[in-house]
Amino acid sequence: MSLESEIEKRRTFAIISHPDAGKTTLTEKFLLFGGAIQTAGAVKSNKIKKTATSDFMEIEKQRGISVATSVMGFEYSEKQINILDTPGHKDFAEDTYRTLTAVDSVILVIDCQKGVEAQTKRLMEVCRMRNTPVIIFVNKLDREGKDPFDLLDELEEVLQIQVRPLSWPIGIGDSFKGVYKLYDSSLRLFSANKTEIAGDEIDIKGMDDPRLEELLEDSADQLKEDVELIEGVYDPFDKEEYRSGMIAPVFFGSAINNFGVKELLDTFIEISPTPQARETATRVVHANEKEFSGFVFKIHANLDPKHRDRIAFLRIISGTFERNKFYKHIRHQKKMRFSNPVSFMAREKSIIEVAYPGDVVGLYDSGNFKIGDTMTEKEDLAYKGMPSFSPEIFKELVNTDPMKSKQLEKGVRQLTDEGVAQLFTKSVGNIKIIGTVGDLQFDVIQYRLEHEYGAKCRFQPVNYHKAFWLTSDDKAKLNEFIRLKHGNIVYDKDKNPVFLAQSAWIIKLESKDNPEITFHENSEFKVSV
């Protein structure tokens, strides 16, 4: 099969949501429809051995949340589907932001009871930064919730994006009878079924089909009224507007009951983009270019605690990746080859011989990779858009078991390489400060250090407001500033100087007093070949 055919076959996307909106459940149901798993149940079910669910880390099982991005691949309708299931919890938002750089589109899950929540809004803002195409799935229609029209208005107002319903619920909660697929005039009647695929669609010939009255009884008139209003208020769906990130199609259903999921999946593979071009520091790279290139967007140590492995997740952007072929690590300027590259089905891994644009390949790593690293066949390239953002909470790392200092050092380095948190070091005293988006990350770090590395620690709060990366064309001025402000100066993992400000007022004052120095709120400036 040609490279163009392989590209056309692939769809790589992330599923994002606020916690508890049903994201992981929807992921599981996609796997069910794709035949990747044979049965489905609640994430914490003990009755079904669920090796293919996306929450595999022990702390995730205990807390019922996703804290690491999982990668899953399966085939559906002759397409290769690559799903990146992301953490929903806001404390792990930065992992999600990085994952969004590795996908070509997004499915955003909304709880019909709660509507648009804070984390949903923030995630959508990241999608808008890159004009990532978004499909919205309004979940939990089998429960009482907001009026669908009110939800559409809320989506447009809060997320600042035009929406277009492509399916429509017939009733809600106790009166929920099914969904009407506006996209191709088909009907699916609701039946609560958590473990199997729901029944076939019923093809009807629009709103004038006499079978509507038989199938829906007293709900038929309301559906006709709703559809007439939708067609009158909303413009016809335009696939190119969706692909350019200007309009978000909306689907309704109940993921836990496998309902409305097939409509979503069928339409997704029809309208969603194939692997897209990506910008580097020097040029735009297109998927159909002959030479291989890709970038590392995630690193995960101890994916399998029994084997203490460390895997770099590489998104292929162009060309063909081949097992045992030498490729160039741009940051190190050295050739590397990989004898055991793997594809993923959640925890399950299988060795692959070749992979194509859109695929995510796992590379066993002994410490060569950092997030954002680029691999190419020949050309020196550096993919853009993998910045670190300033953390919101800062705490000093205190070693409570000096006999395990080496293990602690290794664990902290590997966990921060994964992007679980950011590590800043003060030169004087080698004090380590961990920066995170939320408190839950500190619990995860502490848990993983103890259970994966045998190291114990505690965290001591330090009073900082924000981190700012420092650059200046005047090296003397920068060095003088670092000398004078040494109490606030730390260095990130790449030895870049960072100013930790105690308040917004202080950074405003320092910026005004030091016009020769640029205070960056993220590390995007570091992109270089």
Residues 6+ apart with CB under 8 A from 487: none
The confidence score (pLDDT) of residue 336 equals 96
Handedness of CA 322, 339, 298, 42 (dihedral sign): positive
Query: Which run of H or of E encompasses 251?
Result: strand 247-252
Residues 138/143/144/150 CA torsion (nearest 10 deg)? 10
E-strand spans in 353-475? 354-355, 360-364, 374-376, 393-399, 422-426, 431-436, 457-461, 466-472
The confidence score (pLDDT) of residue 303 equals 54
Nearest one of 465, 463, 528, 447 to 494, comparing CA atoms: 528
Query: Which CATH code fits 3-74+104-271?
Result: 3.40.50.300
* 133 phi/psi in degrees, rounded to 5: -60, 135
* 227 phi/psi in degrees, rounded to 5: -65, -40
C-alpha count within 13 angstroms, C-beta hemisphere, residue 153: 6
The confidence score (pLDDT) of residue 39 equals 61
Hey, what are 269's tokens?
């593979």
393-526: CATH topology is: Alpha-Beta Plaits (3.30.70)
In order of 236, 260, 272, 345, 346, the CA distances from 50 in angstroms are: 41, 23, 29, 12, 10
How far is residue 512's CA from residue 186's CA, in Å, rounded to a whole number? 62
The confidence score (pLDDT) of residue 127 equals 85
Nearest one of 307, 314, 300 to 448, comparing CA atoms: 300
Residues 6+ apart with CB under 8 A from 130: 100, 101, 245, 385
Work out the angle at residue 460's Cα, subtended by the Cα atoms of residues 487 and 490, and round it to the nearest 5 degrees.
30
The confidence score (pLDDT) of residue 482 equals 95
Hey, what are 25's tokens?
């459940």
The confidence score (pLDDT) of residue 415 equals 84
Work out the angle at residue 71's Cα, subtended by the Cα atoms of residues 238 and 138, and round it to the nearest 5 degrees.
45
The confidence score (pLDDT) of residue 64 equals 46
Hey, what are 337's tokens?
């080859």
Q: How far apart are the two ends of the chain, measured CA to CA in Å?
A: 33
The confidence score (pLDDT) of residue 40 equals 53
The confidence score (pLDDT) of residue 47 equals 35
Residue pLDDT, tens place only, 62-116? 544 443 447 788 889 999 999 987 765 555 556 777 788 899 999 999 999 999 9
The confidence score (pLDDT) of residue 162 equals 94
Domain segments of the chain: what residues? Answer: 3-74+104-271, 278-376, 393-526
How far is residue 57's CA from residue 346's CA, in Å, rounded to a whole number? 11
Alpha carbon 21 to its chain's center: 15
Hey, what are 171's tokens?
């009733």
Tell me the DSSP string of 489-516.
EEE-TT--EEEEESSHHHHHHHHHH-TT
> Which regions in the chain score pLDDT beneath 50?
41-53, 56, 59, 63-69, 527-529
How far is residue 61's CA from residue 67's CA, in Å, rounded to a whole number? 10
Residue pLDDT, tens place only, 281-333? 899 999 999 999 999 988 876 555 555 577 889 999 999 999 999 999 999 99
The confidence score (pLDDT) of residue 38 equals 64
Q: CB count, 10 Å around CB of 402?
A: 7
How far is residue 514's CA from residue 142's CA, in Å, rounded to a whole number? 58
| pTM (whole model) above 0.85 | no
The confidence score (pLDDT) of residue 67 equals 37
Hey, what are 312's tokens?
């770099």
* 68 phi/psi in degrees, rounded to 5: -140, 145
Contact 246, 163 (CB under 8 A): no
Hey, what are 67's tokens?
């804290």
Contact 312, 363 (CB under 8 A): yes
Hey, what are 42's tokens?
């609640």
Which residue is associated with the tokens 């399998």?
A: 304
Alpha carbon 385 to its chain's center: 14
The confidence score (pLDDT) of residue 486 equals 93
How far is residue 371's CA from residue 365's CA, in Å, rounded to a whole number? 12
Tell me the DSSP string of 163-210.
EEESEEEES-GGG--EEEETTTTEEEE----SSS-----EE--GGG-T
Class of domain 278-376: alpha beta
Q: Fold match between 3-74+104-271 and 278-376?
A: yes
How far is residue 137's CA from residue 250's CA, in Å, rounded to a whole number? 6
